[in-house]
Amino acid sequence: MRIVFMGSADVSAAILRSLTDEQEMEVVGVVTQPDRPSGRQRRLTPSICKREAELHNLPVLTPEKLNTPEVIEQLTTWAPEVIVVVAYGQFLGSRILALPPLGCINVHLSLLPLLRGAAPVHRAIAAGLNETGVTIMQMDKGMDSGDILMQQREPIFFDDTAGSLHERLTMLGSALILRALPLLAFGAIIPQKQDASQATYAPKLSKEEGLIDWSETAEDLALRIRAFNPWPSCYTFIPSGRNGQSEPERLKVLLADAEPAPPDAPDYAPGTVADLDDRGPAIATGAGWLRLRQVQRAGGRAISGYAFLCGYPLTPGQHIQLEAVFT
């Protein structure tokens, strides 16, 4: 089967690798995002998908705009039977959607119609869902709205982060697309329409969403901390104390547990240090306490909440700053 692959992210590279390892699959070309500035030096860096394609000596296109006559001409020359799209980052126009005989197939990391959009793994954890999964979908002009070809469920465990769940869903997606493509070629899949009335959405993440609002409940904050690990990370601000000043220092919170406040505990305002023990500091929230189990100071490595206390003494009743003022 002749395949053109479109993708740009880690999950894209992993699924591309699984396709190139399969003898019955012939990847004839790869389309990915252009090289982008990255790192402190802002050096042009290829996408991970481009690097994976080059390892297999596959021809690569990196257009700024996908739906141009030049790109469509190249895709036509490659003559794919199917186009597989995984976290590519651009919408496919009608001419590209109609180009391959078997259509354009998307691997989406949720159980559509739930969590359409760019960040389904993170949003699933943040919403407190008990399960999610992978959908193989026939693409149309809408956003993740095409017919469902195949789905498989995956539980979300109590200690899952976006990183751990994403890894399992990537493996599941790799296996599922290898099952779906031969069945699609033989006409053995009956597409199922999505129920648009049940659709939910998973918008792209922003770094600003990681700022902890201590007035929220401890349960909601613990979910978001797991959902935003490893990126973009949740964070708060603490006084740095450098040069005798109290300028704000960003503190990433990587792991945290929600726990009820003891009945006899003082009624601390949200954002106040409520308790200290060998698990780390507990901060009062809008409902309950949030125990900081793993944190990372600016320029440092991830450490346990207890190790943080050893180097940064806190006292019950001390207030954690809600925000920093940047100039």
pLDDT at 42: 84
* Contact (Cβ atoms closer than 8 angstroms) between residue 62 and residue 56: no
Model's pTM, two decimal places? Answer: 0.94
pLDDT at 244: 44
Tell whether 159 and 182 lie within a shared domain: yes
pLDDT at 265: 95
| Residue that is last in its domain, among 175, 198, 221 | 198
In terms of C-beta distances under 8 Å and separation of at least 24 residues, what long-range contacts does 184-192 make, across chains too?
A: 184/82, 184/102, 184/105, 184/149, 185/1, 185/81, 185/82, 185/102, 189/149, 189/150, 191/138, 191/147, 191/148, 191/149, 192/147, 192/148, 192/149
Partner residues linked to 37 by β-bridges: 44
Provide the angle, in degrees to the nearest 10, between the axes of the packed helices 10-20 and 162-185.
40
In a domain, 105, yes or no: yes
Tell whether 163 and 214 lie within a shared domain: no
Neighbours of 140 (CB within 10 A): 17
* Contact (Cβ atoms closer than 8 angstroms) between residue 308 and residue 264: no
Start-end of H helices in 186-285:
218-227
Tell whether 303 and 217 lie within a shared domain: yes
In a domain, 254, yes or no: yes
Burial class (CB in 10 A: 0-12, 13-18, 19+), 145: middle
pLDDT at 321: 63
Tell whether 49 and 178 lie within a shared domain: yes
In a domain, 84, yes or no: yes
In a domain, 173, yes or no: yes
pLDDT at 273: 96
In a domain, 324, yes or no: no
**Backbone phi, then psi, for 51, in 5-degree steps?**
-65, -40
In a domain, 323, yes or no: no
Tell whether 158 and 270 lie within a shared domain: no
pLDDT at 243 exceeding the cut of 60: no
Mean pLDDT of the chain: 94
Tell whether 53 and 186 lie within a shared domain: yes
Give the CATH number of the domain where residue 224 resides.
3.10.25.10
pLDDT at 75 exceeding the cut of 50: yes
Tell whether 226 and 192 lie within a shared domain: no
For residue 134, give both structure tokens. Answer: 């992978």
- pLDDT tens per residue, range 144-190: 999 999 999 999 999 999 999 999 999 999 999 999 999 999 999 99
Query: Of 35-39, 170-174, 194-198, 256-260, where does mean pLDDT reach its minimum?
Result: 35-39
Question: Residue 192: helix, strand or coil by DSSP?
Answer: strand
Query: Of 27-41, 186-200, 261-275, where does mean pLDDT reach its minimum?
Result: 27-41
For residue 143, give both structure tokens. Answer: 């956003």
In a domain, 318, yes or no: no
Domain count, the chain: 2
pLDDT at 264 exceeding the cut of 60: yes
Tell whether 131 and 192 lie within a shared domain: yes
Tell whether 36 and 157 lie within a shared domain: yes
Tell whether 166 and 243 lie within a shared domain: no
Mean pLDDT of 221-244: 87
**Backbone phi, then psi, for 271, in 5-degree steps?**
90, 10
| Residue that is last in its domain, among 198, 232, 248 | 198
Tell whether 98 and 218 lie within a shared domain: no
H or E segment and range at residue 305: helix 305-311
Domain ranges, residue 136: 2-198
| Residue that is last in its domain, among 145, 168, 198 | 198
Give the CATH number of the domain where residue 37 resides.
3.40.50.170
Burial class (CB in 10 A: 0-12, 13-18, 19+), 286: middle
H or E segment and range at residue 70: helix 69-78
Tell whether 67 and 164 lie within a shared domain: yes
In a domain, 221, yes or no: yes
